[in-house]
């Protein structure tokens, strides 16, 4: 078991660790000593820029999310799991209102277990960070975000789906507050895309900024990053609610095509490490239930859950400016390694197939633009081969494959639509690969 104890008072962090225990400074500017970590640097200042006092429940959810992201980052999966994948993570998290969260602890642990494939134990303790006060908010008045002009929240990553989601909300006459999780490198793409949405929008951008001091190997799977992103969205929605109480609940829009939201494993061996569940309906419904039970009036919604990426792109065409902006988005899960989208990972293949379906000239500078040249590269051809295998198997066990990554809703029409978007998504990528000369 890996134990992480979180503190909001650096004086309570001991000078040395017990075996198997690490200490993390929550909302701290930096780790206070070797062997300790910090997360949430400057986040309180970012929250103050919302211009209103948010509820303790919303801020506690942010604290929980930060603690989870820190544990996921600081505890290396290969080094600290018994089977090479599943870690046993035990967290002590100080909250402003721990009793409120105690009643949903088991439900939240279940959602986290599903999200990351680990075993989570959450212990909520008292004396956690309170949300910024009215006085602190007023001191930041020169940099306030115009949340009063917004009627919903839209997560905005700088990816193609988030670009389409924000644009469609504007076309529908809505005014979303954009929320971005701005890791290093993401900001440049987001800065380019936001002015091209066609309307000036309020924008909340922040970074969890997990930092560990000392010799350690961070985990790169980062399965729980989406919880931090969701927490930013919940905080932003709570800020809108403070200015418009009658509009409850506030929509928190997560634009994600259904094929990648479902993210069914392409082969049997990919059920673990290759199948992320960040926008899977089972995970999002679990978080929605938690928010409802603690009194956070937020409605998590994904309007594109039954569309493929290509179908999403077609929904904003013809529009030359948006087509150019679409090519400037980032889809690759590996682009930060060389500041270039690889062109052959699963997200890149889905991206390339969507441009082909929509008839958009894909001028993206891929590291490997010619997929045919991957055939002699066993080190990097795995995703293409897995997609070909999945396309071939789809006719034999489509529903079994679709539910392999997790439970689907029981409502018959909703369930059928998830099966259908999985099938169409495979066909979309298969059609692209066939056009590239592969035997499908």
pLDDT at 367 over 80: yes
Same domain, 20 and 118: yes
Mean pLDDT of 166-171: 97
Whether 79 and 200 map to the same domain: the answer is: yes
For position 20, what pLDDT does the model report?
Answer: 86
Max Cα distance, the chain (Å): 65
Residue from 276, 287, 279, 177 nearest 231 by CA: 287
Residue 400 has pLDDT above 90, yes or no: no
Average pLDDT over residues 341-345: 93
Give buried/exposed letters for 325-362 (b at 16+ CB in 10 A, else e): bbeebbbbbbbeeeeebbbbbbbbbbbbbbbbbbebeb
Rounded to the nearest integer, the mean pLDDT of the chain is 91
In the predicted model, is pLDDT for residue 68 greater than 70?
yes
Q: What total number of domains does the chain contain?
A: 2
Nearest to 208 by CA among 382, 391, 72, 52: 72
Give all strands (DSSP E) within 148-262, no chain letters. 152-155, 176-181, 203-206, 211-212, 250-253
What crossing angle do the helices spanning 346-358 and 412-435 adopt, rounded to 10°? Answer: 90
Asked which of 230, 255, 280 is the last residue of a domain, the reply is 255
pTM: 0.94
Same domain, 16 and 160: yes
Same domain, 364 and 234: no
Lowest mean pLDDT, pick from 57-61, 206-210, 401-405, 411-415: 401-405
Q: What is the rounded CA–CA span in Å between residue 240 and residue 247?
A: 9
Let me know if residue 391 belongs to a domain: yes
pLDDT tens profile 132-149? 999 999 999 899 999 999
Whole-number pLDDT of residue 272: 47
Per-residue pLDDT tens digits for 181-233: 877 667 888 999 999 999 999 999 999 999 999 876 676 666 788 899 999 99
- Whether 299 is covered by a domain: the verdict is no
The answer to whether position 288 is within a domain reads: no
250 and 341 both lie in a single domain: no
23, 227, 255, 262, 343 from 347: Cα distances, Å: 35, 20, 15, 13, 8
> Where do runs of H (alpha helix) occur along 328-411?
335-338, 346-358, 382-393, 398-402
- Of 167-176, 325-334, 343-352, minimum mean pLDDT range: 325-334
For residue 54, the enclosing domain spans 2-215+222-255
Enumerate the β-bridge partners of residue 119: 88
Do 199 and 334 reside in the same domain of the chain?
Answer: no
Query: Could you tell me if residue 61 is inside a domain?
Result: yes
What's residue 189's pLDDT? 86
Do residues 149 and 39 share a domain? Answer: yes
Q: Of 255, 274, 306, which residue constitutes the final position of a domain?
A: 255
Rg, Å, the chain Cα set: 22
pLDDT tens digits, 237-249: 999 999 999 999 9
Residues 182 and 47 placed together within one structural domain of the fold: yes
- Rounded to whole angstroms, the Cα distance separating 67 from 63 reads 6
Q: What CA–CA distances, in Å, run from 40 to 68, 112, 364?
A: 12, 20, 34
Q: Is residue 53 part of a domain?
A: yes
Is residue 276's pLDDT more than 80? no
> Do 92 and 226 belong together in one domain?
yes
Query: φ and ψ at 126, to 5 degrees?
Result: -80, 175
Per-residue confidence (pLDDT) for residue 401, from 0 to 100? 80
Taken in order 257, 262, 159, 340, the sign of the CA dihedral is negative
Same structural domain, 52 and 149: yes
Q: How far apart are CA 287 and CA 115, in angstroms?
A: 11
Counting Cβ atoms within 10 Å, is residue 213 exposed (0-12), middle (13-18) or buried (19+)? middle
Contact 407, 332 (CB under 8 A): no
Residue 42 within a domain: yes
What is the spatial distance between Cα 168 and Cα 235, in angstroms, rounded to a whole number?
23
| Assigned domain for 263 exists | no
- pLDDT bin (cut points 50, 70, 90) of residue 375 is confident
Interval 368-376 mean pLDDT: 87
pLDDT in tens, 81-137: 767 678 999 999 999 999 999 999 999 999 999 999 999 999 999 999 999 999 999
**Which pLDDT band holds residue 391 (cuts at 50, 70, 90)?**
confident
**What is the helix (H) or strand (E) element at residue 326, kind and residue range?**
helix 320-327
Identify the three-state secondary structure at position 350: helix
Q: Does residue 163 carry a pLDDT above 60?
A: yes
Same structural domain, 153 and 13: yes
Does a structural domain hold residue 311? Answer: no
Q: In this structure, are residues 4 and 24 in contact, taking their beta carbons and an 8 Å threshold?
A: yes
- Tokens matching residue 318: 């013809």
pLDDT tens digits, 277-318: 889 999 999 999 999 999 999 999 999 999 999 999 999 999
Task: Looking at the structure, tell me whether residues 20 and 108 fall in a common domain.
Answer: yes
pLDDT at residue 403 is higher than 60: yes
For residue 247, cis peptide bond before it (omega within 30 degrees of 0) = no
Band the pLDDT of 376: cuts 50, 70, 90: confident
């Amino acid at each position: 078991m890996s134990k992480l104890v979180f503190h909001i008072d650096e004086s309570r962090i001991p000078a040395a660790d017990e075996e198997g225990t690490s200490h993390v400074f929550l909302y701290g500017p930096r780790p206070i000593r070797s062997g300790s970590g910090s997360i949430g640097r400057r986040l309180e200042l970012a929250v103050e820029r919302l211009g209103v006092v948010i509820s303790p429940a919303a801020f506690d959810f942010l604290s929980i999310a930060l603690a989870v992201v820190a544990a996921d980052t600081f505890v290396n999966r290969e080094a600290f799991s018994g089977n090479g994948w599943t870690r046993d993570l035990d967290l002590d998290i100080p909250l402003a209102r721990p009793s409120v969260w105690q009643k949903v602890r088991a439900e939240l642990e279940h959602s986290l277990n599903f999200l990351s494939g680990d075993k989570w134990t959450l212990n909520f303790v008292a004396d956690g960070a309170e949300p910024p006060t009215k006085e602190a908010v007023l001191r930041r008045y020169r940099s306030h975000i115009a949340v009063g002009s917004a009627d919903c929240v839209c997560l905005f990553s700088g990816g193609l789906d988030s670009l389409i989601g924000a644009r469609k909300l504007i076309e529908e006459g809505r005014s979303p507050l954009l929320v971005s999780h701005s890791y290093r490198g993401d900001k440049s793409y987001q800065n380019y895309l936001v002015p091209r949405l066609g309307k000036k929008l309020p924008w909340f951008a922040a970074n969890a900024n997990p930092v560990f001091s000392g010799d350690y190997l961070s985990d790169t799977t980062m399965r729980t990053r989406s919880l931090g992103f969701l927490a930013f969205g919940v905080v932003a929605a709570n800020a809108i609610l403070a200015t418009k109480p009658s509009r409850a609940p506030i929509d928190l829009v997560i634009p994600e095509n259904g094929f990648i939201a479902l993210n069914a494993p392409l082969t049997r061996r990919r059920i673990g490490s290759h199948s992320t569940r960040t926008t899977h309906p089972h995970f999002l419904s679990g978080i929605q239930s938690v928010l409802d039970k603690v009194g956070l009036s937020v409605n998590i919604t994904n309007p594109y859950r039954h569309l493929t990426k290509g179908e999403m792109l077609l929904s904003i065409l013809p529009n030359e400016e948006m087509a150019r902006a679409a090519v400037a988005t980032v889809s690759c899960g590996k682009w930060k390694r060389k500041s270039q989208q690889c062109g052959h990972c699963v997200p890149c293949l889905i991206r390339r197939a969507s441009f082909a379906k929509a008839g958009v000239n894909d001028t993206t500078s891929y590291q490997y633009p010619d997929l045919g040249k991957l055939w002699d590269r066993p080190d990097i051809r795995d995703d293409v081969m897995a997609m070909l295998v999945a396309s071939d198997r789809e006719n034999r066990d489509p529903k079994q494959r679709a539910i392999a990554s997790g439970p689907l809703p029981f409502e018959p029409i909703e369930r059928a639509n998830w099966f259908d978007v999985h099938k169409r998504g495979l066909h979309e990528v298969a059609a692209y690969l066939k056009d590239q000369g592969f035997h499908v």
